[in-house]
Amino acid sequence: MSDTFDVIVIGGGPGGYVCAIRAAQLGLKTACVENRGTLGGTCLNVGCIPSKAMLQSSHLFEEANHSFATHGIKVSKVELDLATMLARKDDVVKQNTTGIEFLFKKNKVTYIKGTGKIAKAVTGAHQVAVKGLDGTDSTYTAKYVVIATGSEVTPLPGITIDEKQIVSSTGALTLAKVPKSMVVIGGGVIGLEMGSVWRRLGAIVTVVEFLDFIMPPMDGEVRKQMQRILEKQGMKFMLGQKVTKAVPGKDGVTLTVEPAKGGAATEMKADVVLVAVGRRPFTNGLGLVEAGVKMTNRGFVEADTHYQTNIEGIFAIGDVIGGMMLAHKAEDEGVAVAELCAGQTAHINYDAIASVVYTWPEVAGVGKTEEQLKEAGVAYKVGKFPFTANSRARSNGDMDGFVKILADATTDRVLGCHIIGPSGGDLIMEVALGMEFGASAEDIARTCHAHPQLGEAVKEAALNVDKRAIHI
Ligand code: NAI
């Protein structure tokens, strides 16, 4: 089979499939090459979506076990049916991935099932070779090629992931029984989300983190309070420690742990070990070097502010170019590239991209942290409001956390917002939208917020930037 397209996207994850749909919407003849067998990439298949299904199920399990009684709901015996929980998660994934296939059909995107590589870089007619999932070889031509191949788990020296006893985020989504003990290596997003799932379902979870704090990119105050909340929930932390060895055996995994700054090693045991120390760009077998595409020294594809590589007409988006490794960042870059290919202009305001950790309570941040503002020497004001003082949070029985808004000391413009709280990931979006429009704290404070809502905590934090919150 051979065909010519305006745009060929390599990779059908959130960056790639969104790019393909947008390009097709704009009238470009578009194909998307994907070798997983299903669309949606890591996020839909083995990342964001299945983990959220498990977070929701395990949250309900924990609520039934520990919170129902306080609401006056008596349940005689709460039992875990893990097989059903896992099957539900798989079903959620299937509904989402087949949904994208439907969207491809609706938008007339050609879905090419196979592994794509750049066979030849020719301005105006790049060639993409595809080894089909059925074993056939094909070559396609496109004016524009978009690399959207995402990222893969960063391995840890001395540790072999077998996806049974020593698992990555993928294996952590399919454990057939609840381990008695789990060691999570890495106190980042995956470690805390998947660690929360298995702790709620009954495992004793210990997080071993290299740094002296968890969730490195988040605001310092948020990091500290969230650690306290997770400890209160029963999660254990070993900070400033690194795992140098993990040996699986019949009675669990034996781990060797050393202080990050040097010192005597100790041993510990766990039924299951989750390795979650970050992700690295995936570029294997793409023919990028042969095609002359420049890479950074950390293995990312080098792209300019318009996502174009050093080769005209070859673009790259999402995790493979680095920056925030977030599905929604990749999606927006996908839209931007499609619009650029259609001759439009595109711009993404990276300062208004929120990141969310789906623990309970959720952790969400957008814009600058206090640490970043201090380092940049920016004079700023802080407005904070705790959920203990929010009537809806009290009604719901979910009062852990706060909203913190950082605003420029002179102009009052919102520079950042950091939330620990129930549905923090939803609450942050009004601030992200505000920041996109250049809002001041006063703008948010003067926006009438419906009562009784968790969002009133955002308004009160904005009021408190000038120390005039009403409810504290
Ligand atoms: P991460 O970068 O969030 O966290 C990795 C953690 O491991 C860091 O705290 C780091 O200091 C620590 N670490 C590194 N080497 C270590 C060692 N040898 N021993 C102990 N600790 C060590 O990476 P994570 O959690 O693996 O997630 C990967 C990517 O996926 C991230 O970029 C994340 O943003 C993304 N993701 C996003 C989600 C969301 O938006 N809710 C959910 C899951 C993943």
> Which CATH number is 219's domain given?
3.50.50.60
- Give the mean pLDDT per block of 10 residues along the chain (472 residues): 88 98 98 98 98 98 96 95 98 98 98 98 97 97 98 95 98 98 98 98 98 97 98 98 96 97 97 98 97 97 98 98 98 98 97 98 98 98 98 97 98 98 98 98 98 98 98 96
Give yes or no: residues 439 and 389 share one domain. Answer: yes
Burial 379-409 (b: 16+ CB within 10 A, else e): ebbbbbbbbebbebbeebebbbbbbbbbbbe
Amino acid residing at 205: V
How much is the pLDDT for 2?
A: 55
CA distance 285 to 18: 23
Q: How far is the CA of 130 from the centre of ligand 1 (A)?
A: 32
Nearest atom in ligand 1 to 208's CA: 20
Residue 338 domain flag: yes
Q: How far is the CA of 217 from the centre of ligand 1 (A)?
A: 10
Residue 115 domain flag: yes
Give yes or no: residues 210 and 265 share one domain. Answer: yes
In angstroms, what CA-CA distances link 305 with 149, 294, 309, 316, 346? 19, 15, 10, 11, 10
Which tokens belong to 409? 């000391």
328 catalytic per annotation: no
Give yes or no: residues 48 and 137 share one domain. Answer: yes
Burial, 343: exposed, middle or buried (Cβ in 10 Å; 0-12, 13-18, 19+)? exposed
Give yes or no: residues 286 and 143 share one domain. Answer: yes
Q: Please tell me if the CB atom of residue 278 comes closer than 6 angstroms to any atom of ligand 1.
A: yes
Give yes or no: residues 10 and 145 share one domain. Answer: yes
Q: Which of 66, 71, 306, 451 is catalytic?
A: 451
Nearest atom in ligand 1 to 216's CA: 9
Q: Please tell me if the CB atom of residue 149 comes closer than 6 angstroms to any atom of ligand 1.
A: no
Amino acid residing at 198: W
User: In 248-326, where does DSSP find H-type helix?
Assistant: 288-291
Domain span at residue 394 reads 352-464
Q: Under DSSP, is residue 321 helix (H, G, I), strand (E, B) or coil?
A: helix
Q: Please tell me if the CB atom of residue 322 comes closer than 6 angstroms to any atom of ligand 1.
A: no
Which residue among 49, 152, 190 is best mutated to probe the pocket of ligand 1, counting the most ligand atoms within 8 A of its Cβ?
Answer: 190
Domain limit, last residue, from 277, 303, 327: 277
Give yes or no: residues 81 and 131 share one domain. Answer: yes
Nearest atom in ligand 1 to 358's CA: 41
Q: Please tell me if the CB atom of residue 213 comes closer than 6 angstroms to any atom of ligand 1.
A: no
CA angle 455, 461, 464 (to 5 degrees): 145
Name the one residue in this structure whose structure tokens are 């704290």. Answer: 441
Cβ atoms of 175 and 167 closer than 8 Å? yes
Residue 123 domain flag: yes
Q: Please tell me if the CB atom of residue 353 comes closer than 6 angstroms to any atom of ligand 1.
A: no
- Which residue lies with its CA nearest to atom 14 of ligand 1? 277
Give yes or no: residues 374 and 451 share one domain. Answer: yes
Spatial strand order in the sheet of 380-386: 355-357, 362-367, 414-421, 402-408, 380-386
Amino acid residing at 333: E
Please state the domain count of the chain.
3
Domain limit, last residue, from 277, 302, 331: 277
Give yes or no: residues 148 and 292 share one domain. Answer: yes
Q: Please tell me if the CB atom of residue 239 comes closer than 6 angstroms to any atom of ligand 1.
A: no
Domain limit, last residue, from 331, 348, 365: 348
Give yes or no: residues 340 and 357 share one domain. Answer: no
Residue 100 domain flag: yes
Q: How far is the CA of 277 from the centre of ligand 1 (A)?
A: 5
User: Strands 181-185 and 204-209: what pairing?
Assistant: parallel
Give yes or no: residues 137 and 61 share one domain. Answer: yes
How much is the pLDDT for 255?
A: 98
* Tally of CA atoms within 13 A in the half-sphere of 373 that contains its CB: 22
Q: How far is the CA of 361 from the centre of ligand 1 (A)?
A: 19
Q: Please tell me if the CB atom of residue 172 comes closer than 6 angstroms to any atom of ligand 1.
A: no
Spatial strand order in the sheet of 181-185: 166-167, 272-275, 181-185, 204-209, 236-239
Residues whose CB is less than 8 angstroms from the CB of residue 8 and which lie 6 or more positions away in sequence, other chains included: 30, 31, 32, 33, 116, 126, 128, 140, 142, 144, 145, 146
Q: Please tell me if the CB atom of residue 49 comes closer than 6 angstroms to any atom of ligand 1.
A: no
Give yes or no: residues 198 and 142 share one domain. Answer: no
Q: How far is the CA of 188 from the centre of ligand 1 (A)?
A: 4
Q: Please tell me if the CB atom of residue 184 comes closer than 6 angstroms to any atom of ligand 1.
A: no
Burial 201-215 (b: 16+ CB within 10 A, else e): bbbbbbbbbebebbb
- Which residue lies with its CA nearest to atom 26 of ligand 1? 278
Residues whose CB is less than 8 angstroms from the CB of residue 450 and which lie 6 or more positions away in sequence, other chains included: 456
User: In 76-183, where does DSSP find H-type helix?
Assistant: 82-107
Q: Please tell me if the CB atom of residue 422 comes closer than 6 angstroms to any atom of ligand 1.
A: no
Residue 451 domain flag: yes
Nearest atom in ligand 1 to 260's CA: 19
Q: How far is the CA of 224 from the centre of ligand 1 (A)?
A: 17
CA angle 337, 429, 389 (to 5 degrees): 165
How much is the pLDDT for 158?
A: 87
- Which residue lies with its CA nearest to atom 43 of ligand 1? 190
Give yes or no: residues 380 and 255 share one domain. Answer: no
Cβ atoms of 288 and 270 closer than 8 Å? no
Cβ atoms of 254 and 269 closer than 8 Å? yes
